[in-house]
Chains A and B, each alone.
Chain A
Amino acid sequence: MSKKNQQLFETVYQQCYPMVLQMCLGFVKGNSDLANDLSQEVFINIWNALDKFKGKSTPKTWVYRITVNTCLQYLRKEKNKTKLPIEKVEQVLIDESKEIDHQQNQNLYRAIGQLEELDRLLIMMVLEEQDYDTIAEVLGITPTNVRVKIHRIKKRLKKILDHE
C-alpha cells in the first residue's frame, strides 16, 4: 500500500471509527463482540477500496456506503451461525461502570434493534445527522424515496419507544 493510501486510511480511521463502531453496535443490537468484529470488516473493506477512492463523493459518504454494505453482507453470513438476541445488550464503551448510561444505551440499541436491517442503518444515519441527499447517495435511490422511508421508520420507532 502506498504512503498516500496509508495516510488516507489513518485519517479515515481517526475521523470515522466512532461512527462506524456505533453504527455496528446499533446494527447488531448492542452486542460488543459482534460490533468489534463487524467494524473490523468495515475497515478491511475500506482498506481494500482505498485505491478506488477518487473523491467523487465525500470521504464520509464513501465510508457510510462501505459501512452499510458491510453490515448487510455480514448479517447474512452471521445468520448461518447464530441468531442475535435482542436481550443481549452489551457495551464496548469505556465508561462501563455508569449504570444509568448503560441502561439508556440498552434502550437505544434495543429500540433500533427492533427495526428491520436496512431501516436500522437508515435511522442511524439520521441519528448521525446526515441529510436526505447524502443518505440517497449512499443508497442509490432518490431523496424523495429516502424521505418517505425515514418518515415511516420514525413512526415505527415511535411505536417501539411508546411500548417500552
Chain B
Amino acid sequence: MSDNFEALQNQWKKNKKQVEHDSDAMSKMLASIKAKRNWSKRFHYGNIVVLSLVVVLISSFFYFVAPVQKILSQIGVALMVGGLLLRIGIEFFSVEKLKQIQFDDTVLKNTTDTLSFYAFRKQIHGPITIGIIALYTIGFFFITLEFTLYFSTIAMILIYVSYVIGAIVPVFFVRKNIIKEIRILKEITQLKDHISIA
C-alpha cells in the first residue's frame, strides 16, 4: 500500500511544482474575482428586485389605472400586494441566512449551516410559497368580482383562463425547486453523517 501511495505522492508533488511556474495568473485572478463578486451580488438581490417591480406595477395599476371601489376588491388588492411583500421579506431573510454560511468555518460547521439553510429554503419553496400563491389567488378572485360589473362574460372567462395559465408557470417552478432542494438536503445530510461518523 505504501509503495503505491508514495508513487502517488511523488506525482502530486511533481504536478505542484509545475503549477508554481504560472506567473501572471495573479492579476487575471484579481480581475475575475471582482467580476464574479459583482455578479454574485446581482444574483442574490435579483429575485428581490423582480418581486419589488411586480409590487410597484400592481400597486400603480390599481391606484392609477383601475382603482377598485368595493371593500372586497380592496381586500383583494391588499392580499395580492401583501403576499408579494411577504415574499420579498422572506427573500431578504434568506439572503441574510445565506451570508451566515461561513467558508472559513470547520467543514462540519459549514455543512450544518448549509443544511439549516436548505431546510429553510425547502420551507419557503414548500408551504410558504404555496400559501402566498393561495393568498394571491384569493386576492385576484376578490377583485374579479368587481370586474364582472364592467366586463362581459367572455372577457371574464378570458381573464380567469389567463390567470390559471399564468399560475401554472410558478407552480411548475415551485415543484421543480422543491424536488431539487429535497435532493440537496439528502446529499448534505449524507455528507454531514460522513464527516461526523468515524
A-side residues, CB < 8 A to B, are 10, 13-14, 17-19, 21-22, 25, 40-41, 43-45, 47-49, 52-53, 62, 65-66, 68-70, 72-73, 76, 80, 92-95, 101, 104-105, 107-108, 111, 116-118, 124, 127-129, 137-141, 144-145, 148-149, 154-155, 157-158, 161-162
Contacts and interface: CB of A to CB of B under 8 A. Distances in A.
Interface of B: 1, 4-5, 8-9, 11-12, 14-22, 25-26, 29, 32-33, 36-37, 40, 102-111, 114, 180, 184, 187-188, 191, 194-196, 198
Contacts of B16: 18-19, 22
Contacts of A93: 15, 18-19
Majority SS at the chain B contact face:
helix
Contact of A65 (B14, B32, B107): B107
13 contacts: A17-B19, A21-B19, A40-B29, A65-B107, A72-B111, A72-B191, A93-B18, A108-B15, A127-B9, A140-B109, A141-B196, A154-B5, A155-B1
Nearest to B112: A140
Contacts of B194: 116, 118
B26 A13 contact: yes
Nearest to A42: B103
